[in-house]
Amino acid sequence: MCARCEAQPKPGRSGRLSQMKPELLSGGGVTAFEKAKMPIILNSNPDQVVMSIWNFTPGWNVEQHGPMPSTYNAKVETIYQRPTFKPYAMNRCLVILTSFQEGQERIIDGKKKKFQYKITKENTHEFCVAGLYRIYQGEIYHTVVTTEANELMAKIHNTQKRMPIVLEPWEEQYWLSGEPFENFADRSNVHLEATPLFSEQPSDKQGGLFD
């Protein structure tokens, strides 16, 4: 997969990303599979932006535990049912983005194809999605919390029909303070914009990150 998230400050505009040194932010975006660092805000220190690795199973021993599970996303409906996430349910964070990518599956000539879209939040450059974090051997690690897709995202992510919990600015403090997960599950009123990133040739294998 090469669906990507981006966190890029806009020249001449203030914002949380403007606090970061440009060299810390990846210009081409990142994927969870790179275990790359992304800017986040911890509920333990909400006034500071820090860099965190997009991965929630640091120190995983493949020989002892088998293949590493997929933990770059945490479904909001099952956080308290997953031993990986349950101990960190109150370790809330905001993951700062300017866009993310998602793939729409279509059948073309009898073959499955993925058409990639760039997703942004309407009328704003940067926005936050809900996350959980943990600290392991001095490094911060995080996962992105997902929910059932709203109308737009269900059309794009039309297989799993999931999306990250994109927060409105006024919701951010409530997420960080530990409000119940169910209060953030409904994203039907979040207005996103989708820009196609394809011309005539979709990918045979590109997938989405927010399953």
CA–CA separation, 187 and 183 (whole Å): 10
pLDDT single digits (tens) 192-210:
999 999 875 554 444 455 6
What whole-number percentage of the chain has pLDDT above 70? 83
> Which of 38-47, 106-115, 186-195 has the lowest average pLDDT?
106-115
Cα(194)–Cα(102) distance, integer angstroms:
9
Mean per-residue pLDDT, 30-47: 88
Helix, strand and coil in the chain, % to nearest 5 = 20, 40, 45
Closest to 210 measured CA to CA, from 47, 4, 15: 4
pTM over 0.85: yes
